[in-house]
Amino acid sequence: MRLNAKVPSGPIEQKWDRHRFDLKLVNPANKRKFNIIMVGTGLAGGSAAATLAELGYNVKAFCFQDSPRRAHSIAAQGGINAAKNYQNDGDSVFRLFYDTVKGGDYRSREANVHRLAQVSVNIIDQCAAQGVPFAREYGGTLDNRSFGGAQVSRTFYSRGQTGQQLLLGAYQALERQIAAGKVTMYPRTEMLDVVLVDGRARGIVTRDLVTGEISSHAADAVVLATGGYSNVFFLSTNAMNCNATAIWRAHRRGAHFANPCFTQIHPTCIPVSGDYQSKLTLMSESLRNDGRIWVPKEKGDKRPANQIPEAERDYYLERKYPSFGNLVPRDVASRNAKDVCDEGRGVGPTGLGVYLDFSEAIGRLGKKAISERYGNLFEMYEKITGEDPYEVPMRIYPALHYTMGGLWVDYNLMTSIDGLYAIGEANFSDHGANRLGASALMQGLADGYFVLPYTIGDYLSQHMGEKITTDHEAFVATEAAVKERTEKLLATNGTRTVDSFHRELGKLMWDHCGMARNEAGLKSALEKIPALEEEFWRDVKVVGSSDGVNQSLEKAGRVADFFELARLMCYDALERSESCGGHFREESQTPEGEALRKDDEFSYVSAWGYNQDGEPQLTKEDLEFEYVKLTQRSYK
């Protein structure tokens, strides 16, 4: 099997423009003859559905929340990047492109990333025109900040609620198209399978989460915009209901899954407080600008922070990385926190935490200045922990945050199934092995507003008038399979709750496929996961019926898919015996303990094919770097 990425020829800065010219168009009168299914209405799906409807297509859009306004994108805090160079500090499309490829540790496709940087500027224009209340200077122009270690100020933001404001912009554009009758919205509806006819995606099977009804929907193309899969780990910063079902079901039907082991761990989250913990809360990265990270020098030192004298504290990031100090990249900060905790020097009741201390900054700048910068974050921390960070240092620990991997897509964002597209966090496209801060919002909106609406037309124009209805046998068979699976989950009637399995799976993944991975650990995970999965299907207890609301049934279906995805992640992590970006293989490190890439062996995208009866099949898409020079990162 070969995968064709369909990257256009020509110089990189001309590829997208040329490609747009070469794409076939659907004439305006014909657009209304096409139906497109959009699964997911977060930033990526909401913006795409609205734009496709504006162009004249008929769109059916689906989300599992009660309103598209509640998609997980709403929770993004920090901001969105764009190469506007409004600050005149030397930013450019090429610099954003370069930073993103480098930040991704050279495991992304150059052409895609360049396009992303190009359209980033249009995103800001579009959102400002929608009335998104971005932060402004007194003169009325847009304000920027520097984010995630970037050397230019290119991040646009709305206080600490950028994701919310961008999503509401897309949501409002979507509601406008719903009112115009161009989009039919199906909230509280979950897609449970894709339907293929003659190898092409022609529809989906869904469950109405209120009535329980299973139904089919046919279309000319299907787009998945269903977000990331961090919740494989049970505990993550993602919303409770984020899941991988849509992309996993597509994978089972033939869509390749790319780089599943590329996951991002965020260093500044509030630590776990007990077994009942249901999710983790992110504290903005910006805190590391003024907070100093430390642990006691002695193992097992249980004294309260303020009783540990200065000389007995280890500011380990400042010690090990004198030039970057507390501002080292996310993966480096995370791994070091894990190391000191593994040594037994972690703080807090569980020993899985490090201090983020503001006392020095408060002494230097005053409490008022600190409260102006971080007041809302300090409040949030106090709400959750009951501790006042002005008085005692915050406790933080890394947590799962983002998944760079996802469905493999070509330059047109089409998966390896004809007519099936994936956009936003659901695809693997632009972030390589590590995503830079403020770049996920950019990618979701680039895909949704500016890329997919063009590229999908090229495909549709080649399939005029090929109508299909849900009476087709493929729909009937898929619906039957979905019903059978649902009934099976309900009929098992074992002794353990879905959450208990999910928690155990998450712990396994965190221990063996989390911040640091090694061959032995991954191999043992590949034995333990199938055993747990087998127990799940034998002993899970899902109460209630499939008619009407049944939240345990919803969870059960998602967790069943997480088991299969978890295995694939371990296969991928095992196969890639180099360290790169968020993927740290203990066998591949420099003498100083830093991640060591192996470009000669691993400059490729790992695209996995599903294999019902055995090990997944790997197809490699080789990566070539013509414009960016490969270097090893160093933060010493």
Ligand X SMILES: Cc1cc2nc3c(=O)[nH]c(=O)nc-3n(C[C@H](O)[C@H](O)[C@H](O)COP(=O)(O)OP(=O)(O)OC[C@H]3O[C@@H](n4cnc5c(N)ncnc54)[C@H](O)[C@@H]3O)c2cc1C
CA distances to 65, 66, 186, 480 from 210, rounded to whole Å, are: 11, 10, 11, 20
**128 sits near another protein (criterion: CB under 8 A):** yes
For residue 107, which of 629, 599, 481 has the smallest C-alpha distance?
599
Residues 545-574, interacting with ligand X (CB under 6 A): none
Residue 4's SS3 state is coil
Is residue 491 a contact residue for another protein (CB under 8 A)? no
**Total residues interacting with ligand X, rule: CB under 6 A:** 45
User: Is residue 432 at the binding interface for ligand X, with CB under 6 A as the rule?
Assistant: no
Asked if residue 118 binds another protein (CB under 8 A), the reply is: no
Q: What is the C-alpha separation between 117 and 611, in angstroms, rounded?
A: 36
What are 523's two structure tokens? 């191999």
- The nearer residue to another protein, 77 or 588, going by C-beta atoms, is 77
Interface residue with another protein, options 35, 41, 58, 65 (CB under 8 A): 65
Task: Using alpha carbons, select from 421, 454, 427 the residue that is nearest to residue 440.
Answer: 427
Binder to ligand X among 45, 260, 291, 405 (CB under 6 A)?
45
Quick one: which segment of 7-15, 122-130, 219-227, 591-599 binds ligand X (CB under 6 A)? 219-227
Amino acid at residue number 619: T
Q: According to the binding rule CB under 8 A, does residue 457 interact with another protein?
A: no
Please name the residue that has the structure tokens 């929608």.
130
Report in angstroms how near the CB of residue 413 gets to ligand X at its nearest: 12
Comparing CB distances to another protein, the nearer of 383 and 467 is: 383
Pick the stretch among 69-77, 369-377, 479-487, 506-514 that binds ligand X (CB under 6 A). Answer: 69-77
| Interaction between residue 350 and another protein (CB under 8 A) | no
- Say how far apart CA 331 and CA 348 lie, in whole Å: 22
CA-based nearest residue to 1, from 262, 198, 254: 254
68 or 432: CB nearest another protein: 68
Nearer to ligand X, 152 or 426 (CB): 426
Instruction: For 304, list phi and psi in degrees, rounded to 5.
Output: -60, 150
- 21 binding another protein? (CB under 8 A): no
Interface of this chain with ligand X, residues 230 to 289, rule: CB under 6 A:
237-238, 242-243, 245-246, 282
Compute the Cα dihedral for 426, 427, 433, 436 and give only its sign: negative
Question: Which residues, including other chains, have CB under 8 Å from residue 274's CB and lie 6 or more apart?
Answer: none
Does 401 engage in binding with ligand X (CB under 6 A)?
Answer: yes
What is the dihedral sign for C-alpha 12, 13, 16, 21? negative
CB of 505 to ligand X, least distance (A): 19
425 binds ligand X (CB under 6 A): yes
| Shortest Å, Cβ 264 to ligand X | 9
Which H or E run contains 586? none
Residue 190: which of another protein, ligand X, none does it interact with, CB under 5 to 8 A by kind?
A: ligand X
Indicate the residue among 62 and 381 with the shorter CB distance to ligand X.
62
Q: Does 178 bind another protein (CB under 8 A)?
A: yes
Residues 204-263 that bind another protein (CB under 8 A): 210, 239-241
DSSP string, 206-260: EEETTT--EEEEE-SEEEE-----GGGGSSSSS-TT--SHHHHHHHHTT--EE-T
Residues classed as catalytic: 330
Q: Which stretch binds ligand X (CB under 6 A): 61-69, 127-135, 209-217, 405-413?
A: 61-69
Asked if 43 interacts with ligand X (CB under 6 A), we say yes
Binding-residue total with another protein (CB under 8 A): 80
480 binding another protein? (CB under 8 A): no
**480-512 in b/e burial notation, b at 16+ Cβ within 10 A?**
eebeeebeebbebeeeebbeebbbbbbebbbeb
78 binds, among another protein, ligand X, none (CB under 5 to 8 A by kind): ligand X
From the list another protein, ligand X, none, pick the one residue 549 interacts with, judged by a Cβ distance below 5 to 8 Å according to partner type: another protein
DSSP string covering 136-174, please? Answer: B-TTSSBP-B--TT-SS--EE-STT-HHHHHHHHHHHHH
Q: Which of 18, 32, 159, 299 binds another protein (CB under 8 A)?
A: 159
CB of 258 closer than 8 Å to CB of 428: yes
Among 36, 55, 124, 191, indicate the residue that binds ligand X (CB under 6 A): 191
Q: Which residue has the tokens 């099997």?
A: 1
Residues contributing to the site for ligand X (CB under 6 A): 39-45, 62-65, 71-73, 75-80, 162-163, 190-191, 225-228, 237-238, 242-243, 245-246, 282, 401-402, 424-426, 438-441, 444
